[in-house]
Homo-oligomer: A and B are copies of this chain.
Amino acid sequence: MAEVVRNKQVVLKDYVNGYPKESDMMVTSNATICLELPKNEGGLVLLKNLYLSCDPYMRGRMNNTSKGSYTDSFIPGSPISGYGVAKVLDSTHPDFNKGDLVSGITIWEEYSLVTNPKLLTKIQHTHVPLSYYTGILGMAGLTAYAGFYEICSPKKGDAVFVSAASGAVGQLVGQFAKLCGCYVVGSAGSKEKIELLKKDFNFDEAFNYKDEQDLDVALKRYFPDGIDIYFENVGGKMLDAVLCNMRVHGRIAVCGMISQYNLDQSEGINNLMLMILKRIRMEGFLVLDYHHLYPKYFDMILPLIQEGKITYVEDIVEGLDNAPAALVGLFSGKNVGKQVVAIAHE
């Protein structure tokens, strides 16, 4: 007879204003789930969730309206969702078998019954840590790849600046830029992260933006001849300072603006007029427009990982009980590297 178990979930209590708090979510074990699928119903997949990705874009889904986000809002009273890695426990869908490992849209709960397995992709390469599929082999990796190679038009010798540089995307952009022969500087918010950037990720220089009185002065210190490429993850005052330091024909890839996500009114950017003088191209992008590049990206990144030519740092917390704190921590920069929640290790 089929086993019915408690299914722990992370539920959003209500829509969020301002900075999200742990108490905006609750971890409950009220729900139950049957660990066997009905044999007479096709097209279903039962998952045991393993790793969850914590991403800044998820803040937008906590708003009452989808304005400012490209995905639907979360539903108060229901568990939240994101990208993750899971193991197939049972399947009545022809494409999936018990024991398969998959990545894709994952609900923040221990077990999930999936009625639309189109959102799942079978994991082919298992010689890397499975958690990598929440980041370097998932959305963050493709974001860094598409944003840098497709939007920034990098050339050898370009001066590249990356903000939020130790994060999931930033650490990869910086390393891609180094592989292209660029001069690379990153900013982050703690001494530990600056060390990581310089020692582990091979950035030429790095600085703690919290230690700088004047970001314009800081950028001039590291880029006396200006910036060719800015990979924008933070927005606000940093963007204004960068505009003052861009070189002629510079490129800005707008990946995120995390400093602005929790403000009622985003900060004004005053230096856009410099875009004319300097002929700057600034382009916003979303990884969902680049999913067709996954095979090309995997062809590049898998050998780099195996040969040790890319360093990838994750910040893994254990258990759904710690998931709300992990997600909320993104917005105060608590994570060092890619923030992941491990629910189970297979």
Binding site for B on A (CB under 8 A): 68-70, 235, 239, 254-257, 260, 265-286, 289
* Inter-chain contacts of A254 with B (CB < 8 A): 272, 275-276
Name A276's contact: one of B275, B279, B284 (CB within 8 Å).
B284
With A254-B275, A275-B254 already in contact, the answer to whether A280 and B284 are too (CB < 8 A) is: yes
Contact yes or no, B256 A276, CB < 8 A:
yes
Alpha-carbon distance A279/B287, docked complex (angstroms): 10
Could you tell me the distance in whole angstroms from the C-beta of A246 to the nearest C-beta in chain B? 10
Could you tell me the distance in whole angstroms from the C-beta of A153 to the nearest C-beta in chain B? 12
With A239-B272, A272-B239, A277-B69 already in contact, the answer to whether A283 and B284 are too (CB < 8 A) is: no
Known: A69-B277, A275-B284. 17 other contacts (CB 8 A): A68-B277, A70-B277, A235-B272, A254-B272, A254-B276, A256-B276, A257-B272, A257-B273, A266-B270, A266-B271, A266-B272, A269-B270, A278-B284, A279-B283, A279-B284, A279-B289, A280-B284
Contact yes or no, A276 B268, CB < 8 A:
no
Name A257's contact: one of B239, B267, B276, B284 (CB within 8 Å).
B276
Q: Please classify the interface of chain A as helix (H, G, I), strand (E, B), loop, or mixed, using the class held by over half of its residues.
A: loop
Contact yes or no, A273 B286, CB < 8 A:
no
Stoichiometry, copies per complex? 2
* Inter-chain contacts of A255 with B (CB < 8 A): 276
Instruction: Kindly list the 8 A-B residue pairs having the minimum CB-CB distance in the complex, ordered from nearest.
Output: A268-B268, A275-B284, A276-B284, A281-B283, A269-B269, A282-B282, A254-B275, A257-B273
Could you tell me the distance in whole angstroms from the C-beta of A277 to the nearest C-beta in chain B? 5
* Inter-chain contacts of A260 with B (CB < 8 A): 273
9 contacts between A and B (CB under 8 A): A69-B277, A239-B272, A266-B273, A269-B272, A277-B286, A280-B283, A281-B281, A281-B282, A281-B284
Contact yes or no, B235 A273, CB < 8 A:
yes
Alpha-carbon distance A289/B266, docked complex (angstroms): 34
Could you tell me the distance in whole angstroms from the C-beta of A269 to the nearest C-beta in chain B? 5
Could you tell me the distance in whole angstroms from the C-beta of A147 to the nearest C-beta in chain B? 11
* Inter-chain contacts of A283 with B (CB < 8 A): 275, 279-282
* Inter-chain contacts of A267 with B (CB < 8 A): 268, 270
Chain B: which residue is nearest A252 at the CB level?
B282
Chain B: which residue is nearest A280 at the CB level?
B284
* Inter-chain contacts of A278 with B (CB < 8 A): 284
Alpha-carbon distance A265/B285, docked complex (angstroms): 29
